[in-house]
Amino acid sequence: MDASNGAAALELTGLRRTFGDLVALDELSFSVAPGTLFGFVGRNGAGKTTTMRIVCGLLAADGGAVTWRGTPIDARARERIGYMPEERGLYPKMRARDQLEYFGVLHGLTHTRARAAATEWLERLGLGDRAGSRVEQLSQGNQQRVQLAAALVHQPDLLVLDEPFAGLDPIVCDLLTEVLREQAARGVPVLFSSHQLELVEHVCESVAIIDHGRLVASGAVDELRAGGPRMIRARVRDVTGDWTAGLAGVEVVERAADGVVLELAPGVDSQQVLDAARRAGTVVRFADEHPTLAELFRDLVAA
Amino acid sequence: MSARREIWEVARREFVERWRSRAMRVSFGILLGLVVLGAVVATVSDKGTPTDDFGLVGSRAVALAPALRLADQADGRKARIHRLRDRAAAERALGDGDVDIVLLDGRLIVEEDRTSPAVGIAQRAIAAQRTVTRLQAAGLTREQAVAAIAPRPQPVEVLEPGARDRERDEGMLWVGMLLLFTALIVYGQSVASSVAEEKSSRVIELLLTTVAPRRLLAGKILGVGALGVAQLAVACAAGLIGAEIAGGEGLPPSAPETVALVVAWFILGFAFYSVAYAALGALVSRQEDLEATTAPVNVLLIAAYLGANAAIQDPDGTWAQIAAFLPPLAPLLVPTRVVLGDMGAIELLAAVAVEVVATILLIRAAAAIYERSILRTGAPISLRSALAAGGARGRWRIHVPTTVLQAVAVAGLVGGVIAGTDRPLGVVLIATGLLATVLYQYGRHRPRTPHG
């Protein structure tokens, strides 16, 4: 595993795919480094599932390339992917452990190893006592756990998860976060899509935001958030009137009970704004304000 | 993972999980019951000697018992004697069907039919008894008297000695075709529902990340097919044992041939039909749509079964001769023609060859349909759109080697000319040759799509 140098493990270059007249992917490029939790964000129909299916070999791209560790991805590399499709799917009548063993074997494990791994994952995910149950007999939440185990049973080198958090109860949600962090720590790149932007912001180190099949932004979450306009959240007590009035290059973007959010034009010294605040009253809060991922997303995608 | 191992693992799961399913066990139970019942009925039904049941009331009637036995024996029948207490008991026995006729004080009583064989036998026995009594009165001993009137059976010349065996061959074949037909429907449908199950449960998307669709399809068909062959073999064995235990004349001489043909043509027929079922199974997204979508193939199989039944009556008719070379009908027609008709080894080989070539072509089409439809969900997909839409972009297309097509074309045309156009075999061979030529030309002129 070439985790040491931080080079891209999975790289998508200029992916194109059309369905009839619909352009689903339009020159989409981004890369995922080893050991990173990578969030893949976009509206419904933006092309997330298409991208993931192309990575997994379920769809052929019309153009562009997917490379894995520097070489074009092939069936051998794909065997090492752990995939969770958006439409969850397991054999309803097959027993949980048998099913996981089967998936493990199809991914190249021996029956003995696959069975051991299946048992291990079921126990880890709290289903040790249900290993012999048919999937249709399990509750929705437990089926989700088996689905997760199916993506992990062969100790994959790459995880591709389509909306893994959708429909999970909070407990499974925490469990999933924990497992994904663990996998990333093992050096596995984890590419997952989600609508829950707060969750992505909380879990991911990097994101790619796509819209209409095109990449809108990608990079480390912190950098993206810091890359927006300079904002300050300030709260001044015992103030009379609007202390921000008359400050050149300062615009109030939000007024709330606990203060104001100001956007500073380039070249405005934040310390002068602070001085103005102190003159007006008692400053109880004065800090840099970064947009949340959700705000960033709305700005980028609505534009 | 190697293609062979992938196919093996898929087949293994299919075999184990199908066997575990209750529906499959019930089907197998029904199949087994059908075979044993059919085999026993076929061997027992019209074999053994016809029997007359006589009810005797009173000592005069009982004295007639030896005469009744003799009279029945002379006719190749068997008498069973029941002693009854009185008229009431006699009427009850007649009413219950326990006896065919009652003899009481020199009178004969029947339930309703005064013309049944038992009436004639009884009349003759009584007459014979009187003659014996008179001869004894005239001075003969009882033995002499009986010998004097004893019937002397004349030898009977049978013009068609094979007809009896043939009748039993027909019975055997009838059971065999029922078994073959049931097995093709049951295991074919099982493939269709297995394909539809993976699609409707969406597990297919998970599978296709690591197994190529063609291997998945191959493994599925091999797994269900292996289960089918195993269960069919058990059913055949059960049928043979059942017929043996039922006794009577035992199995007809054609039994081993019939069993071998049933098993062999199950394999050929299953290969042909299962890919059709698989392709149709891939068109639906819900199990409920399966029945309507697979109906055409079911109808084809039913037609083949009815055709086989017609061919049992007339195995060498022109229709049967041609049908034996039509791939959808051949699995049920060829065994019938071989056992009962005049189909020889060369024609049999030709029929097998036609079936194999047709199956290869069908696999080609079915695999394409399967690959293009298996990830498309929603309303059932029409066959035309499945064949036209390039969902998979030719990534997994099967190529029949052009050399195979060339060989089939040449062999068909040459063989057809040698066999002569006045025989159905010749016509079929030439048609096959022409079809192979067309396919070869079609394949040559179409640009190959690059692999994705």
B277-299 pLDDT, tens digit each: 998 888 888 888 888 888 888 88
Nearest to B201 among A92, A103, A150 (CB): A92
Q: What is the largest CA-CA distance in chain A?
A: 76
Chain A nearest-CA residue for B200: A89
Between the alpha carbon of residue B87 and those of residues B67, B101, B108, B112, the distances in Å are 22, 12, 11, 16
Answer yes or no: do A89 and B206 touch at CB < 8 A: yes
Gyration radius from chain A CA atoms: 24
Query: Distance (Å, rounded) from C-alpha A108 to C-alpha B210?
Result: 9
- Per residue in A269-283, pLDDT tens? 888 888 888 888 888
Give the gap in angstroms from C-alpha A251 to the nearest C-alpha of chain B. 51
pLDDT digits (tens, 9 = 90+) for A189-230: 999 998 888 888 888 889 898 888 888 888 888 777 777 777
Amino acid letter for position B419: A
pLDDT at A97 exceeding the cut of 90: yes
Q: Which of B10, B21, B209 has its CB closest to that of A58?
A: B209
Asked if B449 reaches chain A (Cβ–Cβ under 8 Å), the answer is no
Q: What percent of chain B lies above the pLDDT cut of 70? A: 85
d(CA B192, CA B196) in angstroms, rounded, equals 6
Give the contacts of B154 (CB within 8 A, at least 6 positions apart).
none
In tens, the pLDDT along B125-157 reads 888 888 888 888 888 888 888 787 776 667 777
pLDDT number for residue B397: 41
Q: What is the pLDDT of residues B300-331, one digit of tens each?
A: 898 899 888 888 888 888 888 888 899 999 99
DSSP E strands in B114-257: the ranges are none
Distance from CA of A56 to the nearest CA of B (A): 6
Q: How far apart are CA B348 and CA B261, in angstroms?
A: 11
pLDDT reading at B227 higher than 90: yes
pLDDT 10s digits, B59-87: 888 888 888 888 888 777 888 888 888 88
CA distance B34 to B209: 43
Q: Which helix (H) or strand (E) holds B29?
A: helix B22-44
B48 pLDDT above the threshold of 60? no
Q: Are strands A10-19 and B101-104 parallel, antiparallel or unpaired?
A: unpaired
Report the range out of A218-222, B334-338, B425-429 with the highest average pLDDT: B334-338
B184: distance to nearest CA of chain A, Å?
A: 24
pLDDT tens digit sequence for B3-44: 889 999 999 999 999 888 888 888 888 888 877 887 777 666
Task: Give the residue carrying structure tokens 């990340």.
Answer: B209
Q: How large is the average pLDDT for residues A82-89? A: 89
Taking only residues 14 to 73 of chain B, the set having a beta carbon closer than 8 angstroms to any beta carbon of chain A reads 17, 21
Cβ neighbors of B165 (< 8 A, separation 6 or more) are B252, B253, B254
Do the beta carbons of residue B83 and residue B61 sit within 8 Å?
A: no
Q: What is the mean pLDDT of residues A132-136?
A: 91
8 Å CB contact between B24 and B228: no
A229-266 tens-digit pLDDT: 778 888 888 777 777 777 777 888 778 777 888 888 87
CB within 8 Å: A87 and B202: yes
Q: Inter-chain contact B205–A91, Cβ cutoff 8 Å?
A: no
**Which of A106, A133, A157 to probe by mutation at the B interface, max B CB count within 10 Å?**
A106
Residues 6 or more apart whose CB falls under 8 angstroms from that of A133 comprise A95, A96
Q: Please tell me the pTM assigned to this model.
A: 0.71
Show the CA angle centred on residue A34, arms to residues A33 and A40, nearest 5°: 50
- CA dist., res. A97 & res. A106, Å (int): 14
Q: Select the more confidently predicted residue: B290 or B451.
A: B290
pLDDT, tens digit, 9 for 90 and up, residues B387-425: 665 443 333 344 556 677 777 788 888 887 777 766 677
A67 close to A11: Cβ distance less than 8 angstroms: yes
The span from the CA of A73 to the CA of A60, in Å, is: 12
CB atoms closer than 10 angstroms to residue A260: 19
Question: What mean pLDDT comes out for the span A57-68?
Answer: 89
Instruction: Tell me what the pLDDT averaged over chain B comes to.
Output: 81
